[in-house]
Amino acid sequence: MSGSPEPIPIARPDIGPREEELVLEVLRSGSLSLGPMGPRFERAFADWVGVRHAAAVSSGTAGLHLLAHLAGAGPGGEVITSPFSFVASANCALYTGADVVFADIDRDTFNLDPAAVEAAITPRTKAIVAVHIFGLPCRIEEIRAIADRHGIAVIEDAAEALGARRQRRMVGTTGSPAVFAFYPNKQMTTGEGGIVTTDDDAVYEAILSLRNQGRADSGQWLAHDRLGWNYRMDDLSAAVGLAQVERLDAILASRAAVADRYGALLAGLDGVELPVAVPGDTRSWFVYTVLLDPAVDRDAVIGLLAARGVASKPYLPAIHLQPLYRDRGHRPGELPVCEAVSARCLALPFFGSLTAGQQERVAAELAAILADPPLR
Ligand SMILES: *Cc1c(COP(=O)(O)O)cnc(C)c1O
């Protein structure tokens, strides 16, 4: 008799010998921060994306904060973003003292609805944080056109969208500064870390200073031109990042293959809606989520999957219904599309080394549960 099968985790980073080799190189060099590895990683990343500048930071959240600050967000200002995102897309505005204004999402893509964004603009709006959720590009050119008409900055939260393309253009190269993130569940990782990409020399120079305690680029270590932060990325993290960029095409391809397999395994399963494709756009696979029938008790399904050794997550919870945002006055009913999607969305185990056998098990367990589903 074999025991119960190995539990299947929700995410796993793809780390190999090249990551170990480059980390060891940094350790032996003695330059653990502000050494040569940071710029090597940044150059490789910028070249891969196809953008002029990339400035590494300590997290995606830090990058969003710096861009919100540069956009002029502050007390009395407002920043518009999606309620169907990771909380950092909204918190970056609160760090500056600005208020967050949520615009509802599109029912199929889960991305910001440009018409809802336009309706949310007020004379106090300073910036729009346009999120590319679950690696599917948002309608960034429409959002930029709206922002340009109103003289508002656009920040792209591309934390989940490394390698995605909007109408053939790589996310991060469509004109607004963008932030990518490297927490271990993202397409590529540096442990903790993030990066800001831009074609704008002034934005790039400003990020270099702001991430480094507001230092002048005069090279004088103790000259501080303005208030900055310590949002630097260390060279050990950059070493992992460089190795990941070298292997990025293969990393993304293995994730896409796993997503395709789920698509085949789950097609036709009653009561489950699969992720949409948008003609002309390329999704970069960050998570694999399905929408359950509204009558099904999604959270009970998560418990039943866990009992069968399959990790899953209610993903994403609506930001405006988090306690922090309820305390700021937000209530259920405010953003009905987001709330409906958020209540039904289920993230399944997803990473590049997930085997066909593991995926068959996930699909079979989900099908077995949904044959006689727990109801709300
Ligand atoms: C992961 C993520 C972030 C934040 O990145 P960290 O590196 O964890 O700070 C921001 N926005 C979105 C949409 C994310 O998924």
pLDDT classification of 3: cutoffs 50, 70, 90: low
Same-domain pairing of 231 and 327: no
- Bridge partner residues of 127 (DSSP): 79, 153
* pLDDT reading at 1 higher than 50: no
Q: Is 111 in the pocket of ligand 1 (CB under 6 A)?
A: no
DSSP sequence for 91-149: HHHHHHTPEEEE--B-TTT-SB-HHHHHHT--TTEEEEEEE-GGG----HHHHHHHHHH
Contact 147, 154 (CB under 8 A): yes
Of the given ranges (108-122, 207-221, 248-262), which has the lowest mean pLDDT?
A: 207-221
CA distance 169 to 174: 7
Give the residue from 185, 217, 246 where a domain finishes: 246
Q: Which of 206, 226, 246 is the last residue of a domain?
A: 246
Give me the percent of the chain exceeding a pLDDT of 90.
94
Same domain? For 46 and 195 the reply is: yes
Q: Are 259 and 336 in a shared domain? A: yes
Q: Which atom of ligand 1 is nearest to the CA of 194?
A: 7
**Residues 296 and 269 both lie in one domain:** yes
Same domain? For 45 and 192 the reply is yes
Q: Which of 53, 186, 232, 330 is catalytic?
A: 186
Q: Are residues 150 and 76 in the same domain?
A: yes
Q: Indicate whether 3 belongs to any domain.
A: no
What pTM was estimated for this model as a whole?
Answer: 0.97
Q: Residue 310 is encoded by which pair of tokens?
A: 């399959």
d(CA 288, CA 362): 12
Complete DSSP assignment for 3-50: -SPPPBPS------HHHHHHHHHHHHHS--SSSSHHHHHHHHHHHHHT
Mean pLDDT of 309-333: 97
60 in contact with ligand 1, CB cutoff 6 A? yes
Asked if residue 59 is part of any domain, the answer here is yes
The 3-state DSSP class for residue 212 equals strand
Which pLDDT tens digit goes with each residue over 48-69? 999 999 999 999 999 999 999 9
Task: Check residue 372 and give its pLDDT.
Answer: 96
Q: What is the mean pLDDT of residues 197-220?
A: 90
In CATH, what number is assigned to the domain containing residue 70? 3.40.640.10
What pLDDT shows up at residue 332? Answer: 98
Of 225, 246, 267, the position where a domain reaches its end is 246
In this prediction, residue 220 carries a pLDDT of 73
- Which range (70-84, 171-185, 205-219, 290-304) has the least confidence? 205-219
CA distances from 249 to 78, 150, 187, 211, 292 (A): 38, 38, 11, 29, 32
What average pLDDT score do residues 184-200 get?
A: 98
Is residue 10 pLDDT above 50, yes or no? yes
Number of domains within the chain: 2
**Given a cut of 90, is residue 125 above it in pLDDT?**
yes
pLDDT confidence of residue 219: 65
Residue 216 within any structural domain of the chain: yes
* Domain extent at residue 37: 17-246
* Ligand 1 close to Cβ of residue 96 (< 6 A): no
126 in the same domain as 172: yes
Q: Specify the CATH number for the domain of residue 349.
A: 3.90.1150.10
Same domain flag for 205 and 256:
no
What is the pLDDT, as a whole number, of residue 367?
98
> 134 CB under 6 A from ligand 1?
no
Choose which residue among 81, 87, 89, 240 to substitute to test ligand 1 binding: the one with the highest number of ligand atoms within 8 A of its C-beta. Answer: 89
